[in-house]
């Protein structure tokens, strides 16, 4: 039996489909399951919670916040944010790379260089527990759909030995010529096969499998689907294709042309935009249609525009797997940072470029008629360590932004009541003297712990 292996890391909310006579071994799902185990995160935090470890205090508190959210019956969006934080925590000490829920960063070099990816493969131990699940001596196909997976795929190939596996997937099809020149892939079959992907039911809440279409994909000829597509692809969709759509993220410069169509689609299914910053003709102003409070179209996130590499154009020096002609400019990068700072407050942005985030939105616990507690903010304690300039104690940890806010002990008991929302929270806040209530809400706003309708999150 042919074993179809999905190397980590990648979107943990989707997987690939296989044919009769094939067996799926999704190592990425196994990795996500391992790092989302609260006991693993608590153990990591315990090691870091030691005197004189202020440089790792942030990771310690992030680990406890992620574990707290994953151990609780958290909503899907908070679970995704906690999973992203958990991946950052677990990868922080890996010698080859660091990871998040939707990307990796090599310790040395870039994933746009096959030589750098091969070097990272020799150093990265992060995914070794999952790689050991692949049986030796079997007929194996590694599905590599993105550059993030290449270092792990190369490490697994070395473990399996010569001639034991072939490579397929979107990334392989796009960079086949460059990959053929990689010494580590000598004698390895590079297939053009592109496997359909589906959203895992636990993230889509659909009874039937939902096909997922990413960059370069077309909707299936039949059946329900959702996707993350660029604006040009979306405007070319047929009415019959949109009739079968159940969710859509559109990467766009933010200009007004898509405002009407996407607003209409958002009445039928979850819809969001990813704003491409710096694209000619784009609109990232405060008055842009997508930034207005109350818009039914969510803001998934912001990404810098980089000019694509034309077909046949020479690769930038040493970057034989490059997709862009040049990196984003400094002004564009600075604008992305500015918009992210605003977006984390004003918009219910996605925790990453993952399919499940499109379906993971809902009402938050109500504190009073105006404010809601954001469950992505967790109340956790450190015993011995603290960020520079602070002291051990209780902290609000924001899984959206990573921000840490130390809380005075006198507030901790009240926050335990407030963060669960409901009548008890309303009563507790309402019973406070006006001055203390104002002071409390100011602290919570600064920590990002409370949100209001003006921030794009609404009471049920």
Angle between helices 409-418 and 422-430 (to 10 degrees): 140
Measure Cα distances from 312 to 86, 110, 323 in Å. 40, 21, 11
| pLDDT value of position 278 | 94
Cis peptide preceding 143, ω within 30 of 0: no
Q: Could you state, in order of their start, the residue ranges of all structural domains in the chain? A: 2-190, 199-359, 372-455
* Residue whose pair of structure tokens reads 């039914």 in the numeric block: 296
The CB-side HSE value for 10 (13 A sphere, CA atoms) comes to 29
DSSP H or E run through 406: strand 404-407
In angstroms, the Cα distances linking 201 to 22, 23, 249, 314 are 21, 19, 18, 42
Q: pLDDT tens track of the chain, all 460 residues?
A: 899 999 999 999 999 999 999 999 999 999 999 999 999 999 999 999 999 888 899 999 999 999 999 999 788 999 999 999 999 999 999 999 999 999 999 999 999 999 999 999 999 999 999 999 999 988 999 999 999 999 999 999 999 998 899 999 999 999 999 999 999 999 999 999 999 999 999 999 788 889 999 999 999 999 999 999 999 999 999 999 999 999 999 999 999 999 999 999 999 999 999 999 999 999 999 899 999 888 899 999 999 999 888 887 887 777 999 988 888 989 999 999 999 998 888 888 999 999 999 998 766 777 766 788 888 999 999 999 999 989 999 999 999 999 999 998 888 888 888 887 778 888 888 888 989 888 888 888 889 888 775 554 433 2
Structure tokens at 56: 């790792």
Residue 250 CA to residue 300 CA, distance in Å, equals 9
**CB atoms near residue 70 (< 10 Å):** 20
Which residues are CB-neighbours of 297 under 8 A, at least 6 positions away?
262, 263, 266, 271, 272, 273, 290
Calpha distance 136→275 (Å, rounded):
44
Backbone angles phi, psi at 271, to 5 degrees: -135, 145
Non-local (6+) Cβ contacts of 22 within 8 A are: 1, 2, 3, 4
Amino acid 35: pLDDT: 97
Residues present in the chain in total:
460
User: Are the beta carbons of 305 and 282 closer than 8 angstroms?
Assistant: yes
pLDDT for position 241: 97
DSSP 269-300: S-EEEEEEET-TT---STT-GGGSTT-SSEEE
* Cα 370 from Cα 354, distance rounded (Å): 30
pTM here is 0.93
pLDDT of residue 312: 77
**DSSP at 165:** E
* Whole-number pLDDT of residue 123: 97
CA distances from 179 to 108, 119, 175, 204 (A): 19, 14, 6, 34
pLDDT of residue 363: 63
Residue 60 to residue 37: CA distance in whole angstroms: 15
Distance between the two ends of the chain, CA-based, in angstroms? Answer: 50
CA distance 459 to 453: 8
For the chain, the maximum distance between any two Cα atoms, rounded to a whole number of angstroms, is 74
Beta strands in 196-270 (DSSP E): 197-199, 210-213, 225-230, 245-252
**pLDDT for 281:** 92
Residues 147, 321 contacting (CB under 8 angstroms): yes
Instruction: Yes or no: say if 75 and 90 are a contact pair by the CB < 8 Å rule.
Output: no
Question: What pLDDT does 116 receive?
Answer: 96
């Amino acid at each position: 039996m042919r074993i179809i292996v999905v190397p980590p890391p990648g979107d943990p909310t989707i997987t690939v489909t296989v044919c009769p006579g094939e067996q799926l071994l999704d190592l990425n799902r196994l990795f996500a399951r391992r790092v989302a185990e609260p006991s693993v995160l608590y153990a990591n935090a315990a090691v870091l919670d030691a005197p004189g470890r202020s440089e790792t205090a942030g990771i310690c508190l992030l680990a406890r916040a992620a574990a707290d959210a994953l151990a609780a019956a958290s909503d899907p969006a908070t679970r995704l944010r906690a999973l992203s934080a958990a991946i950052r925590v677990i990868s922080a000490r890996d010698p080859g790379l660091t990871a998040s829920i939707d990307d990796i960063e090599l310790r040395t070099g870039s994933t746009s260089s096959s030589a750098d990816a091969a070097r990272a493969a020799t150093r990265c131990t992060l995914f070794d527990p999952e790689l050991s699940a692949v049986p030796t001596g079997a007929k194996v196909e590694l599905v590599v759909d993105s550059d993030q997976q290449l270092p792990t795929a190369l490490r697994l190939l070395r473990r399996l030995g010569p001639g034991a596996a072939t490579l397929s997937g979107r990334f392989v099809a796009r960079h086949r010529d460059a990959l053929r020149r990689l010494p580590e892939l000598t004698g390895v079959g590079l297939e053009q096969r592109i496997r359909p992907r589906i959203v895992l039911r636990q993230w889509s809440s659909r009874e039937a499998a939902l096909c997922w279409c990413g960059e370069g994909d077309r909707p299936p000829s039949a059946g329900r689907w959702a996707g993350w597509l660029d604006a040009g692809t979306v405007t070319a969709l047929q009415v019959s294709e949109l009739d079968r759509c159940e969710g859509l993220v559109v990467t766009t410069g933010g200009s007004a042309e898509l405002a009407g169509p996407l607003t209409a689609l958002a009445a039928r299914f979850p819809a969001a935009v990813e704003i491409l910053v710096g694209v000619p003709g784009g609109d990232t102003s405060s008055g842009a249609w997508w930034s207005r409070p109350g818009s039914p179209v969510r803001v998934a996130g912001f990404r810098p525009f980089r000019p694509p590499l034309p077909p046949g154009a020479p690769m930038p020096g040493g970057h034989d797997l490059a997709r862009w002609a040049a990196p984003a400019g400094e002004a564009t990068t600075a604008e992305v940072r500015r918009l992210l700072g605003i977006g984390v407050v004003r918009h219910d942005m996605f925790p990453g470029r993952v399919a499940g985030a499109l379906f993971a939105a809902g009402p938050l616990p109500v504190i009073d008629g105006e404010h809601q507690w954001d469950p992505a903010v967790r109340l956790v304690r450190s015993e011995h360590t603290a960020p520079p300039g602070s002291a051990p104690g209780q902290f609000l940890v924001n899984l959206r932004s990573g921000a840490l806010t130390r809380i005075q002990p006198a507030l901790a008991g009240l926050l335990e009541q407030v963060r669960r929302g409901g009548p008890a929270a309303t009563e507790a806040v309402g019973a406070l003297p006006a001055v203390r209530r104002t002071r409390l809400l100011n602290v919570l706003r600064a920590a990002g712990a409370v949100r209001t309708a003006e921030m794009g999150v609404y009471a049920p």
